Structure 1
Amino acid sequence: MTDKSVTRNSLLAAAREEFAAYGIAGARVDRIAANAGVSKERIYGHFGSKDKLFEAALAEAQAEYQTKFGSPGDDPLEYVGRIYDVHHSHPQLLRLLLWEALHHGDEALPEADARIANYQDKISKFAASLGIPADRRAAMLFVSLIGLAAWTAAVPQTTQLMLAAMPEAGEPDMRDMVLELAAGILDRERAT
C-alpha cells in the first residue's frame, strides 16, 4: 500500500468516527487530521472539502456494511434480523445516515444514482423472495422493515426510556419483538 493510500485510509477512518459522533456541521477537520496522524492540509489534498470527505466516509461505510448486511436472499426475515444485529452492534453507518439526513434535508443527495441502483437491486431480490412484484409497494415494505429493524438503534435513549417503566415479565427481547412483527408483515404480504 502506498503512503498516499495509507494516508487516505487513515483520514477516512478518523472521519467516520468524527462524523458519526458530531455530524457534518460539528465535525472538525483539525480533529480528524490529528486522529489520522496527518496535517489537515492532507484532507483538502485528498478530498477537497469537509463535505467531500463526509461523502467519501459515508460511501466507504456503506460499502463495508454491504458485506455485513449481505443480500435479502431467500429469507427476508433472516435479513431483517441481520439488519437489526448489525445496526445494534455497529451503529456507525446508521449515525452517518442520520447526520446526512439532518444536513441535507430534502435536497438532492450527492451520488444518489449509484445508491438508488443499489437499493433497486436489493428491493428486487427482496420482492423475488416473497413472490411479489418489485414495485413501489415492495419498496415501501422494504423501507418499513428496515425502519423496524433499525429504529431502536437510531434512538436507543428513547427505547430505554419507554421500556424502563415496564418491568420485564418474561416477554421477548426487543430483537424477538421486531422479528415477530416482521414475520407477521411478511406472512401477510405472501398471502396477498
Structure 2
Amino acid sequence: MAWDTERTKRLLLDAATAEFSAYGLAGARIDRIAATAGVNKERIYQYFGKKDELFARVLAGRLRASMDEVQMTGTGPEAVGEYAGRLFDHHLADGVIPRLVFWEGLERGAATAADLDRAAYHAEKVELFRRLLPGVGAEAAGQLLLTIVSLVNAWPVLGHLDTFLVGDGPDAADRRRAVVVATATVLARDALARAGATGDTTVDAASDRALDAASDTARS
C-alpha cells in the first residue's frame, strides 16, 4: 500500500496544534506529537524540520486559514467593527490561535522577524484591512488592526479577568464582544477623520512589496 504523505502530514499538524496550544513551544514534546498522530517521530523531522519550525508551520497555517474564514468585507467604520466582531467569534470558538500567538510572543518574540512568509502575510492583511477604510495610510491601518487583533486574542486567554474587573456571568463573552466592536468602530472613525485632516492617502512601499511577494508565493 502506498504511503499517504499528505494524510500523515495532516495527522502530525493536527497533533502538533493540540500539543503547542496546551504546552507552548518549550513544553511541547515531539514524542507526544508523534504518539498522538500515530506516526514515527522521524517523519516530523523529515517533513517539518526542528520543533520551532513545526511550531511556525502550525501557527502560519492557522492564521492563513482564519484570514480566509473571516474575510474583510464592506467599507467604513461599521465594517471595521463588524469584522472585529466576527474575528472575536472565530477566535473564541477556535481557541487555538490566541494561545499560539501568546506562546509565540513569550517564547519566540523577536525571532519571528526573520520569518519572511509571516512578514508577507501580515503585510497582505494590512493592505486588505485598508480597503475597509479607503484613504487611511498603512501606518494608521496597521495600528488599528494591531489593536483589534490584540483585543480579540486577549479575551480567550485572559477572560478570567472579567471576574475581577467587570463581574462574571453567562453573557460575559457577549458583553466583551460588544465592547470590542464598539471600540473598533470608534477607532476606525477617528482614523478616517485623521486621514481626512492630514490628507494621508499614501501607500507604504515596503508593505506593497511584501504584499506582492505574498501574492507571488500564493500563485507558486
Q: Which residue of 1 aligns with 2:135?
A: 132
User: Runs ≥4 in structure 1, deviation > 6 angstroms?
Assistant: none
TM-aligned CA deviation for residue 106 of structure 1? 2.5
Q: Which residue of 2 aligns with 1:46?
A: 47
Q: Which moved more, 1:1-10 or 1:28-37?
A: 1-10
CA displacement, residues 81-113 of structure 1 (integer Å, 9 cap, x when unaligned) = 1111111111101211111111112334452x2
Q: Which residue of 1 aligns with 2:38?
A: 37
Q: Which residue of 1 aligns with 2:93?
A: 89
What is the DSSP-based 3-state SS (H/G/I as helix, E as strand, rest coil) of the residue aligned with 1:130?
A: coil
Q: Is the 8 A contact 1:72 1:122 kept in 2?
A: no
Q: Which residue of 2 aligns with 1:12?
A: 13
Residue identity matched to 1:10: L
Q: Which residue of 2 aligns with 1:149?
A: 152
Q: Which residue of 2 aligns with 1:189?
A: 191
Tell which has more relative contact order, 1 or 2 (C-alpha 8 A, sep 6+): 2
Q: 1:182 to 1:33 in 2, by over 3 A?
A: same
CA displacement, residues 135-190 of structure 1 (integer Å, 9 cap, x when unaligned) = 2122112211222233212312223432337x89xxx7111122122222222222
Please report the RMSD computed on the Cα atoms of aligned residues, expressed in angstroms: 2.3
Q: Is the 8 A contact 2:81 2:182 kept in 1?
A: no
Residue identity matched to 1:9: R
Q: Which residue of 1 aligns with 2:60?
A: 59
What is the DSSP-based 3-state SS (H/G/I as helix, E as strand, rest coil) of the residue aligned with 2:110?
A: coil
Task: State, as a whole percentage, how many aligned pairs show the same letter.
Answer: 33
CA distance in 2, matches of 1:102, 1:38: 29
TM-score (norm 2): 0.75
Residue identity matched to 1:98: F
Show structure 1 runs of 5+ residues with no match.
none
CA distance in 2, matches of 1:84, 1:40: 35
The total of aligned residue pairs comes to: 187
What is the DSSP-based 3-state SS (H/G/I as helix, E as strand, rest coil) of the residue aligned with 1:107?
A: helix
Q: Is the 8 A contact 2:21 2:100 kept in 1?
A: yes
CA distance in 1, matches of 2:60, 2:109: 18
CA distance in 1, matches of 2:119, 2:110: 16
Q: 1:54 to 1:82 in 2, by over 3 A?
A: same
TM-score (norm 1): 0.85
Q: 1:44 to 1:83 in 2, by over 3 A?
A: same
Q: 2:104 aligns with which of 94, 97, 100?
A: 100
Show structure 2 runs of 5+ residues with no match.
195-220
Do residues 114 (structure 1) and 117 (structure 2) align?
yes
